Amino acid sequence: MRKVIAIITGASSGMGREFVRVIATKYSFLDEIWVIARRIERLDSMRGTFGDKIVPIALDLTNSSSMKVLASKLHEERPNVKILINSAGMGIIGRFDETPENEISDMVTLNVNALTSVTRNVIPYMSKGSYIINMASSAAFLPQPKFAVYAASKSYVLSLSRALRSELAPKGIYVTAVAPGPVKTEFFGNAEKHHKIAFYKKFVMADPRRVVSLALKDAKLHSDISVYSVTMKLMMILTKVFPHKLLIDIMNLF
């Protein structure tokens, strides 16, 4: 019989690691959990923490050759992938014209290209009842000056997720986009390398455990989007009601 697995990208830290923790402790039906990230030492330590079901796969998803490695492993082992979580991502705060070009390229490659390629490679190995969780962001709801590329990339993730949801529904495969606001993880250590996060965002920082718990619950309910906190739900509504230009002008006051 085909082994039943979950695949989690960005698994070595932040939201990805929290997804690994919950799935490893609560999803006993899985034979293996493939954890993907660059830092092999962190992935190896997860095997000691969460058990032998953890299969470390050290890949840099900004490198196109990494996708060939994943595709080859899938083809060789032909698992039944019941859960795919695309959690790998990065953001850099700052003006577009002041952000180094290589950092812009890495954001687009990881947030857009890698997520797209991983999903495309994994879908043929999914079956009825499988589901995909894509980490988008509340930044997907509205263009964000000084976070322009990140917000644009997450808008892509949200749009792709909704379209895939429709395409895959006849196969019984479900797709949920997760759109939290700022979350207390290592993400901002890298994001703030040039500029600090807007002060008002610090007041709505979410607990990663609660975000992941809600995301998994919403995915099981086949929700198209998982939005944590009343604040972010209100933001989603505001971006549908008011012109984006007005909201952006308000953001620029802070």
Residues taking part in catalysis? 150, 154
Q: What is the largest CA-CA distance in the chain?
A: 59
Residues 6+ apart with CB under 8 A from 50: 20, 21, 24, 25, 33
Q: In whole angstroms, what is the distance from residue 229 CA to residue 215 CA?
A: 12
Q: In whole angstroms, what is the distance from residue 39 CA to residue 105 CA?
A: 21
DSSP letter for each residue of 190-221: HHTSSSPPPGGGGGGPBPHHHHHHHHHHHHHT
Task: Please identify which residue in the block is written with the tokens 């790998």.
Answer: 88
User: What is the Cα Rg of the chain in Å?
Assistant: 18
